[in-house]
Amino acid sequence: MQTTEIVNFFSKLIEKELGILYEDHNLYQLQSRLEEVMKALSVPDLPSLYKDAQTNNPRFKKQILIDIATNNETSFFRDPRVFRSLERVMTELIASCEKNGEKLKIWSVASSTGQEPLSIAMLLEGILPGKVLSKGYQIYCTDISERVIERAKNALYSELEVQRGLNDQQLAKYFRKEGEKWRAQSLLTTKLTYEKQNLLEEFRNRESFNMILCRNVLIYQKIEKKKEILSRISKALVPGGYLLLGAGESLIGLSNDFEQEVIDGAVFYRKKR
């Protein structure tokens, strides 16, 4: 079998499992990722990997393919302008949760290695000393990749990773040095719960969230899948709850469940009441 046919086979498998589309011009990238999979599974060549996948050979671990096929790029306080606007939104949410006697519930649906939910926790810890939130807050974090979930749970970051988005004060206040790395303090990590969730499948968590962050993950999906995911996300939000997408992503043509709100230059979507 030709290499291109094998790469196409895996591209289709990945689309079925994750919804992630590898366009023709990205197939070379998939090929190099398959080489990583071969290395991780100690498979000698691409035809053997193909045969293992086809015959459900126990040597083939689908999760390894999923972990390697996903792009987990992230950073602390990614898109700083959005985080400045988030301060205002969070302050409003804290006030309304306190008024209703509720816990503030946030969900990061593609949390990758944890920088996004930790940034939200740091933001809230910065606001809360001046406010009352009797029931506290919880950040639910999910991703399809077990590899990134394990890393996120460990909350240990390299110098390079902390340099991407954190200033010295944040580092000193919320992290402690462990050898060459930095570990997030329990003040933040106790507010975070991690679980594996494929966005293409029914959501296991039946809670209603005040805010859902779905950033830089829909871009890899086909329009029909984007619509299905957004419909599930809408159901998981309280009326008036906020949806935050990645910079450059929008809901145009994808959902009528939300109203757009521009806050200090950043775009938020609010579930219609």
Beta strand 209-214 with 237-245 is parallel
Tell how far CA 33 is from the center of its chain: 20
The stretch near ligand SAM (CB under 6 A) out of 122-130, 163-171, 214-222, 237-245 is: 214-222
The stretch near ligand SAM (CB under 6 A) out of 48-56, 138-146, 173-181, 255-263 is: 138-146
Maximum alpha-carbon separation in the chain: 65
Compute CA distances 252 → 217, 248, 256, 268, whole Å: 16, 11, 9, 13
Q: How far is the CB of 18 from ligand SAM (least distance, A)?
A: 4
Tell me whether residue 79 or residue 97 sits nearer to ligand SAM (CB atom).
79
Beta strand 192-196 with 137-143 is parallel
Q: Does 116 bind ligand SAM (CB under 6 A)?
A: yes
Tell me whether residue 97 or residue 148 sits nearer to ligand SAM (CB atom).
148
Q: Does 112 bind ligand SAM (CB under 6 A)?
A: yes
Q: How far apart are CA 81 and CA 44, in angstroms?
A: 47
Candidate list 48, 198, 208, 255; residue touching ligand SAM; CB under 6 A: 198
Compute CA distances 5 → 1, 8, 10, 25, 40, whole Å: 7, 5, 9, 15, 22
Tell me whether residue 63 or residue 167 sits nearer to ligand SAM (CB atom).
63
Task: Name the residues that contact ligand SAM, by CB under 6 A.
Answer: 18-20, 70-74, 78, 110, 112, 116, 143-145, 148, 198-200, 215-217, 246
